[in-house]
């Protein structure tokens, strides 16, 4: 069987220029990509994970095309809030941020996010940032005021080119030195901040203090990936000022283009408002899992809406995502355990077409909705053919192959939610209230009655993963208990 999916050109929407462009990496066969990571003063919320799942889909897709991806993700482990919160708890900032970094890594595993080649902390790169600031100072792009060093925007005529910000009215010397910025207000930003009395600081060649937020990403991106990189990404809220400032710092220092492709994910919303820590309208991954939701359902939900579309989060949406994952897993189970008459049917052709359409969807700026539609068409056609006895043994291979292609990117087919919950310490009662177990037990009974033993076994395993033991009682009823 020929599995040629006729792979086409990859097109990405580049925020720089504001249009879709063919993706051509700087070095053939290799992609250097920087992804802005979390500020670790709290647990990441599922809005943050909307962007991190998008970055994972991007990474997996590039890898599936045989490209060697080198991805760097930072942890912002120093900023105003971190310094203030650590001081309030009476611990150093490293101790304060450690638990959130650990939690972030554990959450990433639960959502099947592949590990970037480098996950790096700002506080391990102070010397790189100092060097970059010295380089900017030597070229006259900085000035010092009250011990802090600022970037002089008026010296960089291209400032604002990413978000097409109008900077004609910018006042020379208007400074901003907090970590939270006003929207669309371009001002000289702090590269290095002098400590306030009693505040934690590093003693360096450019004076005592700590780095501004933006300089860390420029310094770490260039350290690991070189002065010009292929892809830089984050949520849309990062385009201004964070990414404008990264461009200014990096390009002023090197005289070279910093990034070829800028990709920005639209926000996750709740009640049509941006989910954010400061608005307080957020859920963490653990909040949702503790209510009995599955990690695979959340991953599927976050991945299924193309990244440049806003996604309004609802419990019903999550429920639907859960059913979709279940449907796909059941289909894979039916393919693996079913017995079909010899030969092949037109479903084999459908499977090849599904693969091709799946790839075409992703090639078009990661249109995950279109890619998914292709796979669900195949599931529907195959299930119908099976129900009518028209599905043939020879169709199993092509259909499974299409699922494999799908799962390289979506990564939800493996039935490992129970283990993932356990790894987060949410293994048993917290994630499995009685009524939910009863539903699963009943579903298993129904599956056995309809002789769908693959499904019945899967449910038994899932229950076992949640610490539930099943017993066949004499009256034909099934009883369950917690281990
Ligand atoms: P932060 O921890 O605030 O530095 O954010 C980490 C990442 O999450 C950045 O790429 C943000 O742009 C992104 N982000 C924050 N809120 C949302 C949201 N509601 N939806 C999607 N991405 C978000
Ligand atoms: Zn960044």
Q: 415-429: per-residue pLDDT in tens? A: 999 999 999 999 755
Pocket test of ligand 1: the residue of 35, 119, 235, 311 to mutate, having most ligand atoms within 8 Å of its CB, is: 235
Summarised one tens digit per residue, pLDDT across range 211-260 is 999 999 999 999 999 999 999 999 999 999 999 999 999 999 999 999 99
- In this prediction, residue 447 carries a pLDDT of 86
* Higher pLDDT among residues 463 and 114, named by residue: 114
> E-assigned strands of 163-318?
175-176, 188-193, 202-204, 207-211, 229-235, 259-265, 268-270, 273-274, 311-312
User: Quick one: which ligand is closest to 237's CA?
Assistant: 1
Residues 359-404 pLDDT 10s = 999 999 999 999 999 999 999 999 999 999 999 999 999 999 999 9
Residue from 38, 52, 21, 264 nearest 162 by CA:
264
214 Cβ closer than 6 Å to some ligand 1 atom: no
pLDDT at 196 > cutoff 50:
yes
Q: How many angstroms separate the Cα of 108 from the Cα of each of 114, 231, 282, 335, 424?
A: 8, 21, 17, 30, 11
Query: In the predicted model, what is the mean pLDDT of residues 435-450?
Result: 85
- pLDDT recorded at residue 428: 59
Ligand 1 centre and the CA of 238: distance in Å? 8
For 282-305, the pLDDT digits (tens) are 999 999 999 999 999 999 999 999
48 CA from centroid of ligand 1 (Å): 4
DSSP string, 416-445: -HHHHHHHTT--SGGG--HHHHHHHHHHHH
Ligand 2 midpoint to CA 56 (Å): 17
Q: Is 48 in the pocket of ligand 1 (CB under 6 A)?
A: yes
Is any atom of ligand 1 closer than 6 Å to the C-beta of 237? yes
238 CA to centre of ligand 2 in angstroms: 8
Count helices and strands (H / E) in the chain: 15, 18
Q: Is the CB of 238 under 6 A from ligand 1?
A: yes
DSSP annotation of 195 = P
- Residues with C-beta atoms within 5 A of ion ligand 2: 36, 217
Lowest model confidence (mean pLDDT) among 23-27, 41-45, 435-439, 479-483: 479-483
Residue with the two structure tokens 């800028």: 262
% of the chain residues with pLDDT over 70? 95
* pLDDT score at 430: 45
* Measured distance CA(282)–CA(46) in Å, rounded: 7
- Ligand 1 neighbourhood includes 38 CB (under 6 angstroms): yes
Q: Is 54 in the pocket of ligand 1 (CB under 6 A)?
A: no
> Which two tokens mark 164?
């097409």
Residue 96 region, left (φ>0) first, then alpha (ψ -120 to 50), else beta?
alpha
- Across the range 471-480, mean pLDDT stands at 73
Residue 74 has pLDDT above 50, yes or no: yes
Q: Is the CB of 263 under 6 A from ligand 1?
A: no
45 pLDDT higher than 90:
yes
Q: pLDDT-derived band of residue 65, with 50, 70 and 90 as boundaries?
A: very high
User: Residues 256-273: pLDDT tens digits?
Assistant: 999 999 999 999 999 999
Task: Ligand 1 pocket test: pick from 44, 82, 237, 312 the residue with the most ligand atoms within 8 Å of its Cβ.
Answer: 237
CA–centroid distance, residue 321 to ligand 2 (Å) = 30
2-32 per-position pLDDT tens digit: 444 457 999 999 999 999 999 999 999 999 9
Nearest listed ligand to the Cα of residue 259: 2
Res. 44 pLDDT band, cuts 50 70 90: very high
* pLDDT at residue 439 in the model: 84
Q: Is the CB of 275 under 6 A from ligand 1?
A: yes
- pLDDT score of 52: 98
Q: Phi/psi at 206 (nearest 5 deg)?
A: -100, 20
Give me 101's structure tokens.
């970094």
pLDDT for the residue 474: 64
Q: What is the pLDDT of residue 183?
A: 60
| Ligand closest to CA 97 | 1
Q: Between 175 and 399, whose confidence is greater? A: 399
If you average pLDDT over residues 62-78, what whole number do you get? Answer: 97
What integer is the mean pLDDT of 109-122? Answer: 98
Give the pLDDT score at 172: 72
The answer to whether the CB of 232 is under 6 A from ligand 1 is: no
What average pLDDT does this structure show over 51-60? 98
Dihedral in degrees, nearest 10, Cα atoms 303, 305, 307, 311: -110
Distance 191 CA to ligand 2 centre (A): 14
- Nearest-atom number in ligand 1 for the CA of 237 is 12
* DSSP E strands, 155-228: 175-176, 188-193, 202-204, 207-211
Q: Where are the beta strands (DSSP E) in 251-389?
A: 259-265, 268-270, 273-274, 311-312
């Amino acid at each position: 069987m020929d599995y040629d999916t006729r792979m086409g050109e990859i097109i990405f929407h580049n925020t720089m220029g504001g249009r879709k462009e063919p993706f051509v990496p700087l070095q053939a066969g290799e992609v250097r990509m920087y992804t802005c990571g979390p500020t670790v003063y709290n647990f990441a919320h599922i809005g943050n994970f909307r962007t991190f799942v998008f970055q994972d889909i991007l990474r997996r897709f590039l890898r599936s095309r045989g490209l060697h991806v080198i991805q760097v993700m930072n942890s912002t482990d120093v900023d105003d809030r971190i310094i203030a919160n650590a001081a309030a708890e009476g611990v150093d900032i490293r101790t304060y941020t450690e638990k959130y970094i650990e939690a972030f890594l554990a959450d990433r595993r639960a959502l099947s996010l592949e590990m970037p080649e480098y996950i790096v902390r700002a506080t391990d790169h102070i010397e790189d940032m100092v060097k970059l600031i010295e380089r900017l100072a030597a070229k006259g792009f900085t000035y010092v005021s009250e011990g802090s060093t600022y970037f002089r925007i008026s010296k960089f005529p291209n400032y604002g080119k990413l978000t097409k910000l109008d900077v004609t009215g910018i006042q020379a010397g208007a400074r901003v030195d907090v970590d939270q910025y006003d929207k669309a207000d371009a001002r000289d930003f702090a590269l290095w901040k002098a400590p306030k009395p009693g505040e934690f600081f590093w003693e360096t060649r450019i004076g005592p203090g700590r780095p501004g937020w933006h300089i860390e990403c420029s310094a770490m991106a260039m350290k690991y990936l070189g002065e010009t990189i292929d892809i830089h990404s984050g949520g849309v809220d990062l385009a201004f000022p964070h990414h404008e400032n990264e461009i200014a710092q990096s390009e002023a220092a090197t005289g070279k283009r910093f990034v070829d492709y800028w990709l920005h994910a639209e926000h996750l919303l709740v009640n049509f408002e941006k989910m954010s820590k400061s608005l307080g309208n957020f859920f963490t991954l653990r909040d949702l899992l503790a209510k009995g939701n599955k990690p695979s359902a959340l991953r599927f939900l976050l991945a299924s809406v193309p990244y440049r579309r806003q996604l309004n989060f609802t419990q019903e949406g999550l429920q639907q995502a859960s059913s979709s994952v279940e449907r796909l897993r059941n289909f894979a189970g039916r393919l693996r355990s079913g017995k079909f008459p010899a030969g092949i049917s037109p479903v084999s052709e459908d499977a090849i077409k599904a693969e091709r359409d799946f790839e075409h969807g992703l090639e078009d700026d990661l249109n995950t909705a279109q890619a998914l539609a292709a796979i669900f068409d195949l599931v529907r056609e195959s299930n119908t053919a099976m129900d009518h006895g028209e599905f043939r043994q020879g169709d199993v291979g092509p259909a499974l192959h299409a699922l494999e292609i799908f799962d390289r990117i979506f990564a939800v087919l493996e039935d490992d939610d129970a283990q993932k919950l356990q790894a987060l310490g949410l293994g048993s009662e917290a994630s499995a209230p009685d009524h939910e177990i009863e539903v699963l037990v009943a579903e298993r009974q129904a599956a056995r009655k309809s002789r769908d033993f693959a499904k019945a076994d899967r449910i038994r395993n899932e229950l076992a993963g949640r610490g539930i033991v099943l017993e066949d009682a004499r009256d034909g009823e099934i009883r369950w208990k917690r281990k």
